[in-house]
Amino acid sequence: MIELEGKSVFSGVAIGPIAVFVKGDTTVRRESIDDPEAEIARYHEAKEKAKDQLQVLYEKALKEVGEESAFLFQSHQMMLDDLDYVEGVENIIRTQKTNAEYAVATTGDNMAELFAMMDDAYMKERAADVKDITNRVVGILSGAGATGMNATEPSILLADDLAPSETVQLDKSLVLSFVTRHGSTNSHTAILARTMNIPALIGVDYPEDVEGKMAIVDGAIGKILIDPDEATLSSYRKKKEEEEKKAALLQELKGKENVTKDGRKINLYANIGGVKDVASVLENDAGGIGLFRSEFLYLESDGYPTEEEQFTAYKKVAELMAGKKVIIRTLDIGADKQVDYFELDKEENPALGYRAIRICLTRQDVFKTQLRAIYRASHYGNIAIMFPMIISLDEVKKCKNMAELVQRELDAEEIPYGDVELGIMIETPAAVMISDELAKEVDFFSVGTNDLTQYTLAIDRQNPKLDDFYDSHHPAILKMLKMIVDNAHAGGAWAGICGELGADVSLTEEFLRMGFDELSVSPSMILRVREAVRNTDLS
């Protein structure tokens, strides 16, 4: 038996034969050509075909993994039309009189190298995206062989690396798990794997000749066992059966209250990225939506979404939730979420830059349009508004002033709207330290633990080299959480958590003891957190 270690991307146990992911032959040879313009036309034809393929992938991902993950394939389409990329290819073809395959491969390598050299972790990740689109175009131009897994039964998929487009094309009925040599826990592929609920490992240096061999992937401890003995197989089969029984038991929690053994209740809400995610919210029996990431309406649009477009989306979610609370976070563009038509300047440190509420308060036309759409939609359901990246009392007052202006305008136009709660995200140490003052100005707090941990520990959460230093259980974070909820209640506000830490069931009891009123997690985690709540006794 061969036992190999890696880094877990998604937990769970998978048992089955190994299938090695085969990439098509993308060897690029340089060839001289006589007609550069004809070769450029050939390149553009391949580029358009690549965009068509990516549109198909986008629609497939939209159905299977939701809008947030599907957006990747729209961004890849935009990258194909990037002026620097296109001009780079055309220039090589014209000046060197060489074939399109070589020009595309060279341009892609050059741009990927530039991204890889950047200090910002998010920009480093874009190197993989450039390689992905480059390989796609080169493959079309060269008629490369088929790429994929050669499996006729459910298998554990091994690969040197998996591009996001390769991951989404996998026949999920044939994939039990995937294990790769490279990648990072915060890459697009890792996010897709978690969304698809596939046990996965990265950073595993597996041997070459393993096709067809039996294997076990243990996502909980980050191991793959190749050619396991019968005793090990038997032990893991029992473990897998226990996991399946537990998953079935979780289904029995649908319709049950989120209440501890001693009677303490808490609201369990879900995080979503768009209208299509509501199906998963309802399927997993969430009590409401604690975080509607409205920026995805902007990320998926070629221009600023109109008031009517936004109103339609918010109204539909409110109606589908049938009176359950829907908390809409206002635009959170910037940092790792860039939109070309916003024309944001490149920043040395975008995580600390011009983003979220800072954009809204200086682009009041955009802010006002969104608020009008939200208030109009509130007439059709139970909608609340949450402002992100707040660091001062002055920012809160400006947000409230804009909300009041919108209400006055709607009153004058005789457009109805509901009773809308206003809240803020607590994501910075600054907001924590003045949370006693902030609580007097708003109806609720929602803690964005991802950013709060990043800013408090001074660690870039997207840098894979820092994974071992990123500690969301750090005593400083836990002390801050207690301070936040105490100050919220003292000021008359309720408090929730909408960051990933909210789904950490090892902390559920502690959150309850702290006094949090709400936890908002990914839809797939609702029943697990409900189970943890119902198994807790605070007496």
Q: Do the beta carbons of residue 14 and residue 237 sit within 8 Å?
A: no
Distance CA 141, CA 24 (A): 13
Question: DSSP letter at 465?
Answer: G
Beta strands in 35-185 (DSSP E): 148-149, 155-159, 175-180
Token pair 């008359």: residue:
492
- CA–CA dist 91, 94 (Å, integer): 5
Q: CB of 389 within 8 A of CB of 356?
A: yes
Q: How far is the C-alpha of 224 from the C-alpha of 178, rounded, in Å?
A: 10
Asked about 76 being catalytic, the answer comes back as no
From 76, 360, 399, 498, active-site residue = 498
Number of helical (H) and strand (E) elements in the chain, helices listed first: 20, 17
Nearest-10 Cα torsion for 385, 389, 391, 392: -30
Question: Is 189 in a helix, a strand, or coil?
Answer: helix
φ/ψ of 293, rounded to 5, equals -75, 90
Two tokens, residue 117: 């050299």
Please classify residue 443 by burial: count the beta carbons closer than 10 Å to its beta carbon, then call 0-12 exposed, 13-18 middle and 19+ buried.
middle
Of 127, 132, 26, the C-alpha closest to 76 is: 132
* Euclidean distance between CA atoms 104 and 401, whole angstroms: 52
CB-neighbour burial class of residue 408 (10 A; exposed 0-12, middle 13-18, buried 19+): exposed
| Structural Rg of the chain based on CA atoms | 25
Alpha-carbon distance 390 to 396, whole Å? Answer: 7
Contact 479, 505 (CB under 8 A): no
From 188, 360, 399, 474, active-site residue: 188
Do residues 456 and 415 lie in contact, with contact meaning Cβ atoms separated by under 8 Å?
Answer: no
334 forms beta bridges with: 337
DSSP 257: -
Per the CB < 8 A criterion, the answer to whether 47 and 85 are in contact is: no
Are 274 and 62 in contact, with CB atoms under 8 Å apart?
A: no
> Are β-strands 223-226 and 214-218 bridged in parallel, bridged antiparallel, or unpaired?
antiparallel
CB atoms < 10 A from the CB of 450, how many? Answer: 16
Contact call for residues 459 and 533 (beta carbons, < 8 A): no
Q: State the pairing for strand pair 148-149/223-226.
A: unpaired
188 is catalytic: yes
3-state helix, strand, coil in the chain (%, to 5): 50, 15, 35
Between CA 73 and CA 51 the distance in angstroms is: 9
DSSP bridge pairs for 327: 384
- Residues catalogued as catalytic: 188, 498
